């Protein structure tokens, strides 16, 4: 009996061990996240986080689909510009008639993005600025002469057109929905190469770099760590679905080469500018007639804000939209049509979506109390009419002025100034100033925009006492009046 009992016990032990081994094998074959899900509540949360991370990697590490959608819609843009040679009296003294001061041809290059099958292409304004000839090379090596449809220095956007059909193009995405940490691809033509793809994440939104000198500049860049280099300007920033979310524009680097910070113009701005140029020939820029600044912790405390964010109104223009809506200096704008604005750049981005005559609700805080008022947008001339090409923008005393571009800055070794781009009836014409003249100072004050010329003269041409600048042949001049 004892022998049978011992044999039975041994058999049961062996059978139990086998069952345990099989059970362990079955459990071990399952993913760890499943095993964790059956444990405590804290471990369930960890399991979900791990599973989410795993699913994101499955969907985002493979960028081949987005790259395939993009590379054939990104083009190489070549430019040729005739640049006036600065006058050099020393060279003329030594070489006399042999001294050649004729304009020279300068070549440039960048990238562009096809946005329609019939050949409309977006690039940066700084890529084609002052160009006399523009060519576009497609990814299949076909080359076309491009026509400049229009450009907007205030956003650094230009629109080109080539005569071609059935082109691969990119569809619009939604830059407002981009989240910090989200994967994006940058596609362009760095170093004069064909379409090149780099990847990165959205590092920040609403960045202002102070790159643009226009009176009505809008800077609200998407910052990424996707590698950009010389020639990427005007290329595409796309999401993982291959949708266009931005136009690459700048890098921030002490050396001039990629250093981990790249910047793109959000498509929320780009699309509006492009549609305006195609429909009207000029950007229909809506303004509310205020000067704005950052909200500081001190201001937030004074206004009883729970967060340090918004756009502080520092000046109200008489007769402007904000004046009509009874907004006041020191009001803090926090929303436009329900969309939160955390900084002046974000306010500019939101207002950049509207046209003169459009209405929007502006939410603001005054003395700790939140209110919302309807605002009717106006144009730069202070009314709600459609803006025609050249109307009002940069116009001073009958002539049109714009900030000097990169080519002039390089040629004349200057870092500020405004250029006369059109001479009309008025003060500048009366003084004999010609198209192409660069104005550096007015009444002893440096000027970078038409607005600064107005401010230096108190918006009165009779207040002009002196002007310093550079003539079209490179001569420095300093005119004094009323002395």
> How far is the C-alpha of 471 from the C-alpha of 420, rounded, in Å?
10
For residues 268 and 275, the answer to whether their CB atoms sit within 8 Å is: no
Whether 233 is catalytic: yes
Buried b (16+ CB within 10 A) or exposed e, 312-346: bbeebeeebbbeebebeeebbbbbbeeeebbbbbb
Q: Which residues pair with 186 in a beta bridge?
A: 198, 237
For residues 153 and 101, the answer to whether their CB atoms sit within 8 Å is: no
Which of 152, 156, 239, 276 is labelled catalytic? Answer: 156
- Read off the tokens for 402: 């714009």
Residues 6+ apart with CB under 8 A from 312: 292, 293, 294, 295, 299, 330, 331, 332, 344
For residues 321 and 288, the answer to whether their CB atoms sit within 8 Å is: yes
* Residues 327, 331, 336, 339, Cα dihedral to 10°: -160
Burial of 224 (0-12, 13-18, 19+ CB in 10 A): buried
Which of 111, 195, 214, 233 is labelled catalytic? Answer: 233
For residues 103 and 144, the answer to whether their CB atoms sit within 8 Å is: no
Percentages of the chain per state (helix, strand, coil), in multiples of 5: 30, 30, 40
Q: What is the CA radius of gyration of the chain?
A: 30
User: Would you name the residues annotated as active-site residues?
Assistant: 126, 156, 233
């Amino acid at each position: 009996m004892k022998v049978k009992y011992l044999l039975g016990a041994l058999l049961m032990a062996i059978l139990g061990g086998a069952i345990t081994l099989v059970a362990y094998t079955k459990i071990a074959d399952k993913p760890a996240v499943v095993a964790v899900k059956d444990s405590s509540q804290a471990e369930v949360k960890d399991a979900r986080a791990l599973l989410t991370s795993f699913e994101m990697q499955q969907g985002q590490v493979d960028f081949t689909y987005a790259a395939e959608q993009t590379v054939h819609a990104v083009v190489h843009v070549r430019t040729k510009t005739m640049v006036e040679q600065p006058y050099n009296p020393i060279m003329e003294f030594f070489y006399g008639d042999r001294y050649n001061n004729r304009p020279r041809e300068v070549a440039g290059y960048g990238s562009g993005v096809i946005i329609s099958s019939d050949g409309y292409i977006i690039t940066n304004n700084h890529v084609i600025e002052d160009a006399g000839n523009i060519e576009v090379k497609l990814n299949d090596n076909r080359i076309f002469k491009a026509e400049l449809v229009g450009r907007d220095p205030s956003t650094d956007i230009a629109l080109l057109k080539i005569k071609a059909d059935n082109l691969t193009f990119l569809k619009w995405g939604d830059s407002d929905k981009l989240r910090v940490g989200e994967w994006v691809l940058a596609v362009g033509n760095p170093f004069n190469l064909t379409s090149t793809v780099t990847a990165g994440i959205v590092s920040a939104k609403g960045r202002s770099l102070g790159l643009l000198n226009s009176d009505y500049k809008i800077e609200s860049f998407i910052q990424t760590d996707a590698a950009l280099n010389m020639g990427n300007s005007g290329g595409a920033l796309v999401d993982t679905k291959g949708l266009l979310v931005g136009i690459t524009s700048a890098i921030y680097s002490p050396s001039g080469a990629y250093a981990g910070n790249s910047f793109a113009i959000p498509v929320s701005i780009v699309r509006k500018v492009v549609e305006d140029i195609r429909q009207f020939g000029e950007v229909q820029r809506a303004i509310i007639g205020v000067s704005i600044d950052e909200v500081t912790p001190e201001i937030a405390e004074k206004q009883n804000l729970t967060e340090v964010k918004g756009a502080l109104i520092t000046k109200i223009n008489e007769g402007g939209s904000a004046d009509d809506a009874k907004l006041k200096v020191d009001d803090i704008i926090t929303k436009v049509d329900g969309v939160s604005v955390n900084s002046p750049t974000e306010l500019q981005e939101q207002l950049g979506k509207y046209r003169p005559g459009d209405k929007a609700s502006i939410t603001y805080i005054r003395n700790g109390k939140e209110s919302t008022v309807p605002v009717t947008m106006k144009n730069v001339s202070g009314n709600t009419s459609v803006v025609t090409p050249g109307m009002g923008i940069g116009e001073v005393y009958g002539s049109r002025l714009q900030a000097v571009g990169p080519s002039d800055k390089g040629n004349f070794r200057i870092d500020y100034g405004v250029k006369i781009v059109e001479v009309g009836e008025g003060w500048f014409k009366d003084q004999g100033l010609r198209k192409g003249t660069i104005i550096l100072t007015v009444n002893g004050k440096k000027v970078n925009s038409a607005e600064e010329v107005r401010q230096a003269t108190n918006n009165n041409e009779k207040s002009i006492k002196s002007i310093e600048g550079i003539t079209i042949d490179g001569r420095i001049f300093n005119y004094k009046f009323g002395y």
